[in-house]
């Protein structure tokens, strides 16, 4: 059975690669995923470009595990030498946009869901969701359908982790800042230079260390990534805008970090969103312990994913390597997909069967 599941998963991934599915443009890949499941006797649900389904013998009295990955992609890296929409296999590698992030994870989780779909007497219900807009943390992705899934006890989020156990993930808070001054002529002792005020704040942001450090993800990381000021060389600028990228750990809430930043800088600080929370699952959780028994290792992930928007304990786990994500000539090994399906099934077997 797993041989057929693996074959079908790889063929599905080739088809998905061949279809442009940038964030907010996932309608056709959504159709393909929906058809793939329906052809195999699965009753599906759909909201915009999100597709989800439950195991055949769903029992509302049982807890539910969610298997989730996304079918949107970023736009191709400008360094591509191959056609990003041509799924070619060379030396055991399947090339194509979204092959690694996160097509391999998506089809492997779908195969795992199909493996369990018809089984009776499971301890858990199994829900599968192929979500949209992950690459832009959009509002019409997983967040839109979480209320439709019913009570979920825990989730596996498919992202390329080399099938190791990302039991913690950094959150993200992006803040837009404005330092205000007073304009004047640069040749005279006039004005109050907003750039100098911003520099003082940026100096604090670049050197401050939050005292609490995450055992899995290390310290909070703040980076100033954009700066804009000035209109012409001889006018002292009265406004300097800059942006901070704050990578959040489980040691602090967004609100605590924002309060500390505002207390220490003179600039006006406005967060774009407080949605992308740090997420984690206890190392003692049965699904993590099951992975450890199978020789997988735990770590904390610095990158964000839909984990941040799933309000239950979640494990980030999937075939592929995050170092290949968003790169030119992206690829995943066929063997990684095959091993991923086997490991997903084995890890879940110890918990839900």
Give the pLDDT confidence of 312-331 residue by residue, as tens digits: 999 999 999 999 999 999 99
- pLDDT for residue 111 is more than 90: yes
Whether 51 and 129 have beta carbons less than 8 Å apart is answered as yes
Confidence of residue 233 (pLDDT cuts 50, 70, 90): very high
Q: Is 72 helix (H, G, I), strand (E, B) or coil?
A: coil
The reported pLDDT for the residue numbered 280 is 87
Contact 241, 180 (CB under 8 A): no
Query: CA distances (Å), 238 to each of 180, 243, 263, 266, 275, in order?
Result: 6, 17, 22, 14, 32
Query: If you ran DSSP here, which 8-state letter would residue 129 be given?
Result: E
Q: Are the C-beta atoms of residues 54 and 129 closer than 8 Å to each other? A: no
Beta bridge partners of 126: 65
What's 77's DSSP letter? P
**Cα separation, 125 vs 9, whole angstroms:** 22
Measured distance CA(240)–CA(111) in Å, rounded: 52
Rg (CA), the chain: 23
* pLDDT for 26: 98
What is the pTM (predicted TM-score) of this model? 0.89
Got the DSSP string for 161-213? BTT-EEEEE-EEEEEEEEEE-B-EETTTT-SB-HHHHHHHHHHHHHH---S--
Spatial distance between the Cα atoms of 33 and 26, rounded to a whole number of angstroms: 11
Query: What pLDDT sits at residue 190?
Result: 86
> Hey, which of 6-10, 213-217, 305-309 has the most confident mean pLDDT?
6-10
> What pLDDT does 249 receive?
93
Cα 179 from Cα 52, distance rounded (Å): 46
Q: Decide the pairing of beta strands 89-90 and 165-169.
A: unpaired
Average pLDDT over residues 203-207: 98
Mean pLDDT of 168-193: 94
DSSP 208-259: ---S--BTTTBS-EEEEEEEEE-SSTTEE-SEEEEEEEEEE-TTS-HHHHHH
Residue 50, Ramachandran bin (φ over 0: left; ψ between -120 and 50: alpha; else beta): beta
Q: Both tokens of residue 279?
A: 């997420």
Encode pLDDT of 65-90 as tens digits.
999 999 999 999 899 999 999 999 99
Question: What was the pLDDT predicted at 303?
Answer: 84
Angle between helices 104-117 and 2-17 (to 10 degrees): 140
Confidence of residue 304 (pLDDT cuts 50, 70, 90): confident
Contacting residues for 83 by C-beta, under 8 A, at least 6 apart:
none
């Amino acid at each position: 059975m797993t041989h057929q599941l693996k074959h079908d998963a790889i063929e599905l991934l080739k088809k998905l690669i061949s279809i442009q599915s940038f964030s907010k443009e996932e309608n056709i890949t959504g159709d393909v995923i929906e058809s793939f499941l329906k052809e195999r006797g699965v009753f599906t649900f759909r909201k915009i470009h999100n597709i989800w389904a439950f195991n055949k013998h769903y029992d509302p009295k049982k807890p539910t595990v969610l298997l989730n990955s996304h079918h949107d992609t970023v736009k191709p890296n400008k360094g591509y030498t191959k056609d990003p929409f041509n799924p070619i296999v060379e030396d055991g590698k399947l090339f194509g946009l979204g092959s690694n992030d996160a097509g391999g994870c998506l089809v492997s989780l779908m195969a795992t869901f199909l493996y369990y779909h018809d089984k009776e007497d499971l301890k858990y219900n199994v829900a599968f969701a192929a979500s949209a807009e992950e690459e832009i943390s959009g509002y019409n992705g997983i967040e839109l359908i979480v209320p439709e899934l019913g009570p979920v006890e825990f989730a596996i989020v498919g992202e390329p982790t080399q099938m190791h156990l990302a039991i913690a993930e950094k959150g993200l808070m992006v803040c837009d800042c404005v330092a205000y001054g007073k304009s004047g002529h640069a040749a005279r002792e006039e004005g109050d230079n907003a750039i100098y005020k911003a520099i003082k704040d940026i100096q604090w942001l670049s050197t401050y260390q939050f005292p609490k450090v995450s055992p899995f993800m290390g310290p909070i990381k703040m980076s100033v990534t954009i700066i804009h000021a000035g209109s012409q060389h001889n006018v002292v600028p009265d406004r300097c805008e800059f942006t901070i990228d704050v990578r959040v750990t489980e040691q602090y809430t967004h609100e605590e970090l924002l309060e500390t930043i505002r207390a220490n800088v003179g600039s006006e600080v406005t967060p774009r969103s407080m949605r992308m929370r740090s997420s984690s699952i206890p190392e003692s959780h049965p699904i993590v312990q099951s992975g450890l028994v199978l020789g997988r290792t735990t770590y904390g992930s610095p990158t964000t994913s839909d984990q941040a928007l799933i309000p239950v304990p979640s494990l980030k786990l999937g075939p592929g390597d995050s170092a290949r994500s968003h790169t030119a000539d992206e690829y995943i090994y066929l063997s990684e997909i095959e091993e991923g399906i086997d490991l997903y099934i084995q890890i879940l077997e110890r918990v839900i069967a």
